[in-house]
Amino acid sequence: MDTGQVYRFTAGQRKGLMVLCGLVVCVQVGWFFISRQDVSDSEKSEEEKQWLALQTKIDALKAKHATKDGYKIYPFNPNYITDYKGYALGMTVEQIDKLKAFRKEGKWVNSAADFKTVTGVSDSLLAVVSPYFKFPDWVKNKKQFTEKTAYVYTAGNKNAAFSKKENIAVPVKVLDINTALEEDLIAVRGIGPAYAKKLLRRRSDLGAFVSMDQMDDFPEFSPEAITGLKKAFKAGDGLAVNKINVNSASLQQLSRFPYFNRDIAKSIITQRSMKGKIYSFDELSKINDIFILKSKIIALYLEY
């Protein structure tokens, strides 16, 4: 047996060995990075737990940094916080959703304590945002009257010409519905921004409201909202209403009048075509029952 024989690899065998070595190296490198990733994920999970445990402090810090980083807080009504504003103030999504659900029930936040109870915000966050809360006047004056001390003359009392009488009812100032701003209307319970804008559009179409009974023209308003409007506002004197001439107005103009519709407008045009002219409100009252039900109001907007 020749022990001096040398074994040689063929070219194909050498290539195979090189590929095998390359695979071994790739497996080792891959295992190294995978094990590192597992450790990293574990550490990240622990960090997330720590952050969640400190969520209360994070809420407060977010609110403080919001004012420093360019988001300036102005006085606002917490009942109308939007998603963006809530986030900018430092509220969580859950807290914002709680407030929205509370408002959908027709309920109102009337104090900082109410806000905390409804949303569950932390005391530190509440301390930051509550100084900016602005509630309408009716929240501060929940009664229709404020109580003041007065002195009333007592007849026949020689020793004391005036005697003290307490708790005299003094009515709260009532605003003119025709000069009211959107924020004045929103202050009424049950009147939100959408309803306030609808009132202002109707006032613009009519020129002015002539009676607070016109609040009944909005069937979508709740009875509470209508009652609140009638208590908080009045229709002032010397009103400049937009009058419509029933003898010269076109079909479109008559149809756009809030107390008419297209059928009534057609009936008016037919009536004046047959008679040549409509001379009085009594003639109109024969066209539709609405003229009888609201005659005092409608008549103030018409001319002949």
pLDDT band at 203 (very low <50, low <70, confident <90, very high): very high
Q: Which residue has the higher pLDDT, 230 or 8?
A: 230
Provide the pLDDT for residue 146. Answer: 42
The whole model's pTM is what? 0.45
User: For the chain, how are helix, strand and coil distributed in percent, rounded to 5?
Assistant: 55, 10, 35
Q: Which two tokens stand for residue 189?
A: 């319970």
Band the pLDDT of 75: cuts 50, 70, 90.
Answer: confident
Question: CA–CA separation, 295 vs 192, rounded Å?
Answer: 30
Residue 121 has pLDDT above 80, yes or no: yes
Instruction: Please give the average per-residue pLDDT across 143-158, as a whole number.
Output: 41
Cα 221 from chain centroid (whole Å): 15
Which letter, b or e, does each residue of 5-39 get, where b requires 16 or more Cβ atoms within 10 Å of its Cβ? eeeeeeeeeeeeeeeeeeeeeeeeeeeeeeeeeee
For 3-45, the pLDDT digits (tens) are 555 556 677 777 777 878 888 888 777 777 666 655 555 555 6
With left for phi above 0 and alpha for psi between -120 and 50, is residue 54 left, alpha or beta?
Answer: alpha
Q: Is residue 140's pLDDT more than 60?
A: no
Q: Which class for 130: exposed (0-12), middle (13-18), buried (19 or more C-beta within 10 A)?
A: middle
Residue 65: pLDDT over 70: no
What's the whole-number mean pLDDT along residues 98-111?
A: 86
Is pLDDT of 233 > 90? yes
pLDDT score of 166:
44
Which pLDDT score is estimated for 137? 62
pLDDT of residue 145: 39
What local confidence, expressed as pLDDT, does residue 250 receive?
A: 92
Q: What is the mean pLDDT of the chain?
A: 77
Q: HSE on the CB side for 147, CA within 13 Å?
A: 5
Please identify which residue in the block is written with the tokens 């977010």. 62
pLDDT-based confidence at 231, cuts 50/70/90?
very high
Query: Is residue 269 pLDDT above 50, yes or no?
Result: yes
How far apart are alpha carbons 266 and 251 in whole angstroms?
A: 7
Percent of the chain with pLDDT over 90: 24
Give the pLDDT mean for 80-94: 84
Give me the mean pLDDT over the 253-268 stretch: 89
Distance CA 19, CA 10 (A): 15
